[in-house]
Amino acid sequence: MKLMMFAHDGSSNRGCEAIVRSSTKLIKEKLNGAKVFLASSNPSSDKIIDSLDNIFDGTRTPIKKYSYPWFISSFKVKFFGDESYALGKIHHKIIEQIEDMDICLSIGGDNYCYGEQPGWYEVNRRVKEKGKKLVLWACSIGEEDMSNRKLEDLKLFDLILARETLTYNMLIEKGLTNVKLCADPAFTMEKEELPLPEGWQVGNTIGVNFSPLVMKKNQKSKIAVRDLIKHILKTTDCTIALTPHVVQIDNNDYIVLYQLFEEFRKTERVILLPPDLNALQYKGYIARMRFFIGARTHATIAAYSNYVPTMVLGYSVKSKGIAKDIFGEEKFVLNLDEISDSAKLISNFDEMISQEKEISHLLQRNIPNIKKMSYKAVEDLQELTHS
């Protein structure tokens, strides 16, 4: 059986890498003889994942102005409002692989949180046109992200696997009958423990991850994170490990964290992890932290899955839903507006400190069940292959 993952933006986003790594491992464990392929918009970044059977170039092909396809595209769009031909040309590198596959997995996770996705709608349509199974793998979608067009696309899928209950319940309420509940596969990803850097305190290091994506959405948030770091340095004896998790061009955690590192370098209690580690290695460091504060969802998943008490900085339905499934409530998840409030960040951190043992106990009790839900995704996939 051949499975192709697509809608993947490359492994310089270590969260995307974590999804590919863990999903490939789960699929190959449960589906005997399965071959897993990846169509990537940044294929060179994915060579670090050696469990894949092949990596395809899934980059978009722009339509050259005044070329033959450009004239046909323009005619179809202008007179018939039909984008299908144009989108097929743009995504032809993915589309041409469909014929050779049995199942196509759209693995973008939160792609559907960012407006309409006409390109992926067209790829999905082509998958079904060729009679192949189509799966939306471990997704999160907020109700505010839904539209009639998106809903029609979601009806095409043979199986939608929602990675938390907020998304699952919303899709069920929208009338979809092809939805199952799972957990993010990255909860099951293994870790690689590299030597600890100079200045790391064993059992007393706090990880801090911050992203330009969050900073762009709330420009005052960096000031609040700076104030939180000052508070940690003043009221604890912990080391702070600034932890990048996405190092894409124009979306690079390391650049933002380096600025904070320079500001606090002289305290000798703030260290900066390097930007070139893979997802396994970042998880290896995060697993040995006492607390974690993070803006990137898969950095927080690395913490949760190793029973590290975690505070989430201003994110979407996926972070809220994941926390709710672990704790029964949206525990220590601050929304986008709250993270520019220094007092709010500090009070939540202090509360997390005071509840350290209770949170660790809850994680140790509940994370094994979350990991079982990660495996459930593959069980549902296995069931689909027999239908």
Q: pLDDT tens, 289-339? A: 999 999 999 999 999 999 999 999 976 788 999 999 999 998 999 988 889
In the prediction, which pLDDT does 115 show? Answer: 85
In the prediction, which pLDDT does 195 show? Answer: 98
> The tokens of 95 are what?
């589309």
- Look at 219 and 136; give whichever has higher pLDDT: 136
- Nearest-angstrom CA–CA distance, 42 and 7: 11
- From the candidate CATH numbers 1.10.760.10, 3.30.43.10, 3.40.50.11720, 3.30.70.1290, the one assigned to the domain spanning 2-181: 3.40.50.11720
Within the chain, all domains assigned CATH 3.40.50.2000 are found at 205-368
- Nearest-angstrom CA–CA distance, 143 and 258: 36
Q: Which amino acid is at 263?
A: E
In the prediction, which pLDDT does 317 show? Answer: 85
In the prediction, which pLDDT does 127 show? Answer: 98
Q: State yes or no: pLDDT of 66 exceeds 80.
A: yes
Tell me the pLDDT band of 217, cut-offs 50, 70 and 90.
confident
> The tokens of 46 are what?
């994915």
Q: State yes or no: pLDDT of 102 exceeds 80.
A: yes
In the prediction, which pLDDT does 352 show? Answer: 97
* Low-confidence winner among 204-213, 233-242, 329-338 (lowest mean pLDDT): 329-338
Tell me the pLDDT band of 78, cut-offs 50, 70 and 90.
confident
In the DSSP assignment, the letter for residue 59 is -
Within the chain, all domains assigned CATH 3.40.50.11720 are found at 2-181
- Nearest-angstrom CA–CA distance, 6 and 120: 9
- From the candidate CATH numbers 3.40.50.1100, 3.40.50.2020, 3.30.420.40, 3.40.50.2000, the one assigned to the domain spanning 205-368: 3.40.50.2000
In the prediction, which pLDDT does 47 show? Answer: 96
Average pLDDT of 252-267?
A: 97
* Low-confidence winner among 35-49, 81-95, 271-285, 370-384 (lowest mean pLDDT): 81-95
In the prediction, which pLDDT does 125 show? Answer: 97
Q: Distance of CA 20 to CAs 50, 115, 147, Å?
A: 11, 23, 28
pLDDT above 70 as % of the chain = 100
Strand, coil or helix: 7:
strand
Average pLDDT of 176-191?
A: 97
Q: State yes or no: pLDDT of 59 exceeds 80.
A: yes
